[in-house]
Structure 1
Amino acid sequence: MARKKHEEEHENHERWLVSYADFITLLFAFFVVMYAISSVNEGKYRVLSESLGIAFGGPTEKTTVIREAERVRTIVPLPIQMPQPQPQPRLDPAIKRERAQMTDIARDILKAMAPLISQGKVRVTQSARGVSVEINASVLFAPGEAKLSPESEAALRAVAKVLTKVDNAIQVEGHTDNVPISNAMFPSNWELSAVRASSVVRLFVDSGIDEKRMVAMGHAANEPVASNETTEGRMRNRRVQLMILSGLPETVTEVPVTSDD
């Protein structure tokens, strides 16, 4: 009987152990790497991150940190300090009432003298001192005289009707231009301006205003409101001014007086 050239090869039933051993080895290596990453300090992690970045052509850890810082700085706004509103000073109720009363007086006088105001012969203004009524002398008096004309008496009595409703002090001031006057009745502009102011005061007294509230003053040509070089300016300077004084005290700055010794 002829001998077989090759013996039959036996099948290896334990080949799976090789694959299993490889799997266990890889699994062990995986856990070793995970443990190493979990326990690495910041310095080693930064070195590893930079190395991986250089190897793959990406940004280094330093560049990433800088960009992250820039992003945070851009997104997070700086606190804005809004200006705080300043508290407004509260006015004393008495001051508010007095100012409102002076405004009412000015409005009533405007109504009483509306025709003359529209002609530019009367000006009404209001200030902290009070209400000023500037009346052109041509409305009240003939040139060089101090007797009120009948037309002016009607207008002044309308003003007096307004002033009888209040108790404010009243100053009546007479003014002239710089043209000298000299006659038997008025030796100078001082007498003319003073008598004109007194004529208005006398009419107010006759209209029911207490004379203790009033004072008459003459300024002659010493307080012009326009140039005396023109006809229009001299006409403007010839005037009577009524000053209805506010009841509020005026602010006065006291300066100590010392001797030169």
Structure 2
Amino acid sequence: MLEKSEQTIVIKRVKKGGGGHHGGSWKIAFADFALALMAFFLVLWLIESTTDLEKMVIAGYFSDPRSLASTGDGGTPYVLDMGGTPLMLPNQGMNPAVVRDDEEPYVEASNELENLEMIEMARLRQVEMLESLKGQVENLVAGNQAFEWFDESATVEVTEDGLSIQIVDRENRPLFALGSSEMMPYARQVLWSMASILEEVPNKISIYGHTDSVPFGDNGGQYTNWELSSDRANSARRALVEGGLDYERFAQIIGMGSSLPLYEDAPEDPANRRIVIMVLNELAEQRIQEGTRDSELNGVAPPEDVLPDGDVPEIF
């Protein structure tokens, strides 16, 4: 009976892994966190220490890695060339006999400025600056009761060439004396005040003079609307210089005559007599410089059929 009443006692021991609260699983999670944190601060450091050009190169690599890996023509497969990085030779593995001698072995950093994204960034900065300049001109007019006429006679807008400030003639508020390049005192006063605003930006300035189609006088064609428009544009330039604008800031002073009326269906309208002050953006300024340089080197003259016979615009 005693043997039958005895029960077998089984002790089951559960083996706990990781050493209980002294285990190391939390260390793995902490290591991942520390690694992510280090990578985050590394990215912050790179953003702070790299130039805009290097940032654009990095962005271009992640947008299209193949374009950087197959640079050809002397490119480098590395995202950034920090000086100590070996450059890939152009046409590596090709027979030297078929490699052109005029191919450059390396791509200089300045070539990256031709990147479309860099050009777009520069254009947006120019637009932002010109929009700010436009606001200053509008505030100048709004804050002075003596300039109320200017608000009705002027149009200020940002165009593809820069900031255009167009001031037109009104029957009761002409910019110049009739048939003369003498600027009215109230118009000169506006340009004097405007000069201090234009002085704040480094952009070059072009001024265009326009007239209506009414023939100027009866002097045998000795003094026409071409000469008058040129003299009026130059009078506007002198007024800006008198107001404090550096005389070297001007890129072009052009007389357009009556060739580009504001109202084509009414070429004799007084509003066609106007002055356009163009604050050029970098691209427009570059086009003017390249055009002038090409004309000087190649002796290129404007086509004769652009203007009427005997009427040639004067450019100062």
TM-score above 0.5: yes
- What TM-score does the superposition give when structure 1 sets the normalisation length? 0.55
- Measured after TM superposition, the shift of residue 112 of structure 1 is 2.0
Pick one of 97, 116, 122 that aligns with 2:149.
116
The aligned residue for residue 16 of structure 2 is none
- Provide the rounded CA distance (Å) in 2 between the counterparts of 1:186 and 1:134: 28
Pick one of 196, 200, 213 that aligns with 1:165.
200
Pick one of 146, 155, 173 that aligns with 2:190.
155
Which secondary structure does the structure 2 equivalent of 1:241 belong to?
strand
- Provide the rounded CA distance (Å) in 2 between the counterparts of 1:95 and 1:196: 31
Pick one of 232, 242, 246 that aligns with 1:210.
246
- Measured after TM superposition, the shift of residue 197 of structure 1 is 0.3
The answer to whether the Cα contact below 8 Å between 1:113 and 1:122 also exists between their aligned partners in 2 is no
Pick one of 166, 175, 180 that aligns with 1:145.
180
* Residue type of the alignment partner of 1:95: R
- Provide the rounded CA distance (Å) in 2 between the counterparts of 1:250 and 1:199: 22
Q: Which runs of 5+ in 1 are unaligned?
A: 1-88, 253-261
Higher relative contact order (CA closer than 8 Å, sequence separation 6+): 1
The aligned residue for residue 240 of structure 1 is 275
Note the alpha carbon deviations across 1:138-194, whole angstroms, 9 max, x for none.
442122111111111111112111101111111110000110002679711011100
Give the alignment's Cα RMSD to 1 decimal.
3.0
Within 5 Å, give how 1:182-201 maps onto structure 2. Answer: 182=217, 187-201=223-237
Q: Which runs of 5+ in 2 are unaligned?
A: 1-115, 143-147, 288-316
- What TM-score does the superposition give when structure 2 sets the normalisation length? 0.46
Within 5 Å, give how 1:97-108 maps onto structure 2. Answer: 97-108=125-136
Note the alpha carbon deviations across 1:2-53, whole angstroms, 9 max, x for none.
xxxxxxxxxxxxxxxxxxxxxxxxxxxxxxxxxxxxxxxxxxxxxxxxxxxx
The aligned residue for residue 164 of structure 2 is 132
- Provide the rounded CA distance (Å) in 1 between the counterparts of 2:273 and 2:284: 30
Within 5 Å, give how 1:49-64 maps onto structure 2. Answer: none
* Residue type of the alignment partner of 1:116: W
- Provide the rounded CA distance (Å) in 1 between the counterparts of 2:241 and 2:285: 27
* Residue type of the alignment partner of 2:187: S
Q: 1:117 to 1:151 in 2, by over 3 A?
A: closer
- Measured after TM superposition, the shift of residue 93 of structure 1 is 4.3
The aligned residue for residue 22 of structure 2 is none
- Provide the rounded CA distance (Å) in 1 between the counterparts of 2:155 and 2:236: 17
Structure number with greater Rg is 1
